[in-house]
């Protein structure tokens, strides 16, 4: 199976122009003839950056789900709600559709993205792992999915802001974001950075090696 890398072709990450890169030019970062940006066959340091963002997101995911997401105070007292307790409250209050939306966007989506990124990283790094063309297509499809759904991961923050606005308009209670909101926002941003830093073309590099064409695996361009 021939790929652009095996043919000495690389696309510019700025303007997407495909140009020919001679094998000897890989160490000096050839310049795009259209926009003047550096051209890389693979994103430099893609795997290392993706691992760094992913590990940081996994660490922050713990306080994002254990610390209070929303702090509510009223004439009858105050309460601190985590994401899970908020979902349970919405479910018991009859707003099951909103509870499902928050549960999906705030619990399942971040976990799914982190697990998918973990699978992608291990698939391109573990030695001796043989992937069929169909398996590679599925991995590439997984990457496109997590890249697309990343923008919906901030839905829980939007729900907190909406509830704060609605409740404070009644002048009976006040709502403000808790420390988990900052941690959750950081998780969302870090997973987006991890997705962006990962180079999906690494999925097909093992095919190159099987045909005797070895190229960088993201640690060097």
Q: What is the tens place of the pLDDT at every residue in 91-112?
A: 887 878 878 877 887 888 889 8
Of all residues in the chain, the percent with pLDDT exceeding 90 is 17
Does this model's pTM top 0.85? no
215 confidence band (pLDDT: 50, 70, 90)? very low
The reply to whether 217 falls in a domain is: no
| Per-residue tokens: 128 | 């001796």
Q: Same structural domain for residues 26 and 93?
A: no
Calpha distance 97→89 (Å, rounded): 12
Task: Please give the residue range of the domain that contains residue 36.
Answer: 1-41
Calpha distance 186→166 (Å, rounded): 25
* Tally of domains in the chain: 2
Q: Same structural domain for residues 24 and 80?
A: no
Q: Is 208 helix (H, G, I), strand (E, B) or coil?
A: helix
CA 131 to chain CA mean position, Å: 23
R_g of the chain computed on alpha carbons: 22
Q: Same structural domain for residues 203 and 101?
A: yes
Higher pLDDT, 171 or 181: 181
Q: Same structural domain for residues 96 and 190?
A: yes
Q: Are 181 and 67 in contact (CB under 8 A)?
A: no
- Average pLDDT on 210-219 reads 46
Q: How far is CA 119 from CA 31, 39, 45, 112, 136, in A?
A: 33, 27, 18, 11, 12
């Amino acid at each position: 199976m021939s790929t652009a890398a095996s043919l000495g072709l690389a696309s510019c990450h700025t303007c997407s122009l495909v140009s020919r890169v001679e094998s000897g030019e890989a160490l000096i970062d050839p310049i795009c003839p259209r926009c003047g940006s550096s051209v890389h066959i693979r994103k430099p340091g893609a795997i290392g950056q993706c691992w760094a963002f992913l590990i940081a997101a996994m660490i922050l995911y713990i306080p994002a789900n254990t610390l209070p997401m929303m702090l509510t105070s009223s004439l009858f007292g105050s309460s601190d709600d985590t994401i899970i307790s908020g979902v349970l409250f919405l479910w018991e209050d009859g707003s099951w559709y909103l509870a499902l939306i928050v549960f999906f966007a705030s619990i399942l989506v971040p976990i799914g993205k982190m697990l998918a990124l973990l699978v992608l990283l291990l698939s391109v790094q573990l030695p001796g792992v043989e992937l069929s063309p169909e398996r590679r297509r599925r991995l590439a499809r997984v990457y496109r999915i997590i890249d697309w759904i990343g923008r919906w991961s901030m839905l829980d923050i939007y729900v907190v802001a909406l509830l704060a606005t609605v409740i404070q308009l009644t002048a009976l209670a006040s709502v403000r974001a808790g420390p988990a909101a900052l941690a959750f926002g950081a998780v969302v941003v870090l997973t987006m950075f991890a997705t962006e830093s990962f180079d999906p073309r690494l999925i097909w590099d093992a095919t190159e090696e099987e045909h005797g064409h070895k190229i960088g695996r993201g640690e060097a361009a």
